[in-house]
């Protein structure tokens, strides 16, 4: 278990994290969502003790805190952060990288050969890393962390540079690690796919969690929206306003127009759908807001 208790991180006058309090449980994948520069990485750095919080503390396994360097070394034997692909040693090969993670986390690590097979890395793993493509490097970084096999894993933009097959491969592996009881925290601003495997999504804004969604529970907000997007949103809205003058709608940053269907009478609703159906350029959907909509909704300026 990881407990964050009132974490405040302040750089000068700017509060990057403003009293974050939450608990992460074993067997949980947490998606940490926010645009760039809004504190995601800072939160991960606090978890690794690369950034010391101005206030608050992080507790691991109910009693371990970053009280001194010895404790830090112990906690680092339980937690890993996925390395940045630009930090790989270009003059060494992938096996060297996997081996150091196996040796450094020898209490928990697993056989690198097994991970190489699983992630289809055999054909390039013995080449020096400067020859790797972006996706190959990303897979190696992920593999390093999987080899370490620590109970807590932090990943920053894990799917960056991966093709759909590899995204699928990694998603499956993450699911398996979750079933092994690991806490996996994934920071990302790419929402595709995150919704599929994350148990909990946390939106970070202004140094606080502004939205939390637990996919293991029924959505608390069951509002149903009519959503559409087209190249001519403005024109279509004008057309709708012609027969629904008091239209309550919102245009999101992802160019989607959303409107709560509860505002319409049954007839108006049918009339609206009929009208939209006639527009061939338009993509329409009815349902609750998905992660992308929420993201656009929370982070559109």
Partner 1 sequence: MTGYVHWELKVFFSNRKNIILFILLLLASLYYALYLAPNYQPIESINKNEIEARYEDRQEFLDNVVIREGSHPLTVFAYQIFPEWNEYDGARLDALATGDLHTYAEATQHWYSYSDEIIYPSGQDSFLRYTTGYYTYGNRFSHSDGHYAYLSSAERYREYANASYDVSIQIFEERTALQTLQRLLASSLPYIILIVCLFLSNDIVMKDRHHLSIVNGFPLTPFKRLMLKGVVALLGSLTSLVVLIPSFLIIGFREGFGTLSLPVVRYHFEFLNLGTYESISMGLFLVQSFVMMLLWFTIIISLVLLMSIVLKNEFINLTIGIIFFIEATYYQRGAIIDAWLSYLPTSYIQIGNIVSGYRQYILAIDSVTIIKGQLVLLAAALLIILLIWFISRIKRLAI
Interface pick for partner 1 out of 89, 133, 212, 287 (rule CB under 8 A): 89
Least Å distance, CB 74 to partner 1, is 7
Least Å distance, CB 146 to partner 1, is 14
Stretch that binds partner 1, among 18-26, 47-55, 170-178, 221-229 (CB under 8 A): 47-55
Nearest CA to 201 among 172, 209, 3? 209
Interface pick for partner 1 out of 1, 8, 48, 95 (rule CB under 8 A): 48
**Residue 251 binds partner 1, judged by CB under 8 A:** no
Q: What is the 3-state secondary structure (H, E, C) of 151-206?
A: CEEEEECCCCCCCHHHHHHHHHHHHHHHHCCCEEEEEECCCCCHHHHCCEEEEEEC
Cβ atoms of 34 and 203 within 8 Å: the answer is: yes
Nearest CA to 158 among 148, 179, 144, 147? 144
Please, which residue, 70 or 218, has the CB nearer to partner 1?
Answer: 70
Total residues at interface with partner 1 (CB under 8 A): 32
Q: What phi, psi does 65 have (nearest 5°)? A: -125, 160
Interface pick for partner 1 out of 105, 142, 152, 209 (rule CB under 8 A): 105
**Residue 80 binds partner 1, judged by CB under 8 A:** yes
Rounded CA separation 115/111 (Å): 7
**Which positions from 220 through 239 interact with partner 1, judged by CB under 8 A?**
none
Cβ atoms of 147 and 94 within 8 Å: the answer is: no
**Which positions from 125 through 144 interact with partner 1, judged by CB under 8 A?**
144
- If DSSP codes are grouped into helix, strand and coil, which group holds residue 31? strand
Q: The tokens of 266 are what? A: 């049954």
**Residue 57 binds partner 1, judged by CB under 8 A:** no
Interface pick for partner 1 out of 100, 167, 247, 292 (rule CB under 8 A): 100
**Residue 50 binds partner 1, judged by CB under 8 A:** yes
Please, which residue, 92 or 282, has the CB nearer to partner 1?
Answer: 92
* Contact residues for 108 (Cβ-Cβ < 8 A; gap 6+): 77, 148, 149, 150, 151
Please, which residue, 145 or 166, has the CB nearer to partner 1?
Answer: 145
Task: Fill in the DSSP letter of residue 64.
Answer: B
Q: Burial of 203 by CB count in 10 Å (0-12 exposed, 13-18 middle, 19+ buried)? A: buried
Stretch that binds partner 1, among 72-80, 119-127, 189-197, 278-286 (CB under 8 A): 72-80
**Residues lying near partner 1 in the complex (CB under 8 A):** 48, 50, 52, 68-70, 72-74, 76-77, 79-84, 87-89, 91-92, 96-97, 99-100, 102-106, 144
């Amino acid at each position: 278990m990881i407990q964050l208790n009132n974490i405040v991180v302040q750089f000068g006058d700017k509060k990057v994290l403003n009293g974050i309090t939450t608990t992460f449980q074993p067997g949980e994948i947490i998606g940490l969502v926010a645009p760039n520069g809004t504190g995601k990485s800072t939160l991960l750095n606090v978890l690794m003790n690369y950034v010391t919080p101005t206030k608050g503390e992080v507790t691991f396994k109910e009693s371990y805190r970053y009280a001194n360097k010895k404790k830090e070394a112990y906690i680092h034997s339980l937690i890993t952060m996925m390395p940045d692909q630009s930090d790989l040693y270009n003059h060494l090969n992938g096996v060297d990288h996997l081996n150091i993670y196996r040796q450094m986390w020898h209490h928990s690590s697993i056989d690198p050969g097994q991970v190489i097979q699983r992630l289809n890395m055999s054909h390039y793993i013995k080449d020096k890393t400067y020859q790797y493509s972006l996706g190959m490097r990303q897979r190696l970084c992920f593999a390093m962390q999987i080899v370490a096999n620590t109970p807590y894993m932090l990943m920053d933009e894990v799917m960056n540079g991966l093709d759909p097959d590899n995204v699928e491969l990694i998603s499956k592996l993450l699911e398996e690690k979750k079933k092994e009881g690991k806490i996996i925290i994934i920071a990302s601003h790419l929402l595709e796919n995150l919704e599929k495997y994350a148990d909990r999504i946390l939106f970070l804004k202004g140094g606080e969690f502004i939205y939390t969604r637990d996919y293991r529970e029924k959505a608390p907000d069951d509002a149903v929206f009519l959503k559409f997007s087209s190249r001519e949103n403005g024109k279509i809205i004008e057309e709708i306003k012609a027969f629904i003058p008091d239209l309550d709608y919102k245009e999101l940053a992802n160019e989607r127009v959303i409107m709560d269907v509860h505002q319409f009478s049954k007839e108006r609703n049918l009339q609206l759908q009929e009208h939209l159906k006639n527009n061939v350029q338009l993509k329409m959907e009815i349902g609750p807001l998905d992660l992308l909509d929420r993201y656009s909704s929370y982070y559109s300026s």
